[in-house]
């Protein structure tokens, strides 16, 4: 796997600046999934960089796929928080202006909260999977890598990727089913 090496003499700011340069297109692409405005995308990416700066010691020495996933999750969570904040602001302004109609396509806050809960559950699930399963699932479904790119990341033949992906999905589904049984038993 490709590693994102960290120079021990570089400051956290320098490390995060290099991280940003390496992943800025992935960051902007992730933000674009949530907001249309280029200004909002830039705001989300900048806020994500600030959050990543606080996690610099944790991020140093991680392999490139793990860093990419961490960056994508950070941008995604920041975008969701941004949408939540915009939704709350709109609600306050609509209260002041009683005649305003809700914008078509705007996601209600309760749906955003449910989405966030599912994401937290998925993050917990991913952390319990093996490194290879996590890498292939994140690479395929979050980073949208091709089978050839995944084969390079995993150090295997392109033809093996489909089988590895099937096994990773089965492992994840077993964990989900086990979690549902446990949560049902607790209720």
| Band (43; pLDDT cuts 50, 70, 90) | very high
Residue 47 lies in a domain: yes
Residue 40 lies in a domain: yes
Displacement of CA 82 from its chain's centroid (Å):
14
The string of DSSP codes covering 96-156 is HSTTPPPPTTPPPHHHHHHHHHHHHHHHHHHHHS-HHHHHHHIIIIIS---HHHHHHHHTS
Please state the rounded mean pLDDT for residues 133-149.
Answer: 82
Q: State the CATH number of the domain containing residue 117.
A: 1.10.10.10
* pTM given for the model: 0.49
Structural domain boundaries enclosing 79 = 12-186
Residue 5 lies in a domain: no
Residue 158 lies in a domain: yes
Count other Cβ atoms within 10 Å, centred on residue 86. 14
Residue 169 lies in a domain: yes
Q: What percent of the chain has pLDDT over 70?
A: 84
Residue 94 corresponds to which tokens in the numbers above? Answer: 């609509």
Residue 4 lies in a domain: no
Residue 49 lies in a domain: yes
Residue 6 lies in a domain: no
What are the tens digits of pLDDT across the range 75-122? 999 999 888 888 887 777 766 655 555 555 667 777 777 777 777 777
Q: How far apart are CA 11 and CA 83, in angstroms?
A: 32
Sign of CA dihedral 112, 41, 17, 149: positive
Total domains in the chain come to 1
What are the tens digits of pLDDT across the range 55-71? 888 888 888 888 889 99
């Amino acid at each position: 796997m490709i590693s994102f090496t960290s120079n021990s003499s570089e400051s956290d700011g320098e490390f995060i600046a290099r991280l940003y340069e390496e992943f800025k297109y992935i960051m902007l692409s992730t933000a674009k999934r949530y907001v249309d405005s280029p200004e909002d995308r830039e705001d989300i990416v900048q806020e994500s960089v600030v959050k990543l700066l606080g996690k610099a010691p944790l991020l140093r020495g991680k392999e490139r796929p793990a860093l990419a996933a961490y960056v994508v999750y950070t941008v995604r969570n920041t975008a969701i928080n941004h949408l939540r904040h915009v939704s709350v602001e709109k609600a306050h302004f609509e209260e002041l202006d009683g005649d305003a109609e809700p914008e078509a396509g705007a996601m209600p806050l309760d749906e955003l909260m449910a989405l966030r809960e599912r994401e937290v559950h998925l993050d917990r699930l991913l952390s319990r999977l093996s490194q290879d399963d996590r890498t292939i699932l994140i690479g395929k479904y979050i980073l949208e890598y091709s089978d050839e790119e995944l084969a390079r990341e995993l150090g295997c033949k392109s033809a093996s990727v489909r089988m590895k992906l099937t096994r990773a999905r089965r492992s994840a589904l077993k964990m989900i089913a086990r979690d549902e049984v446990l949560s049902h038993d607790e209720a």
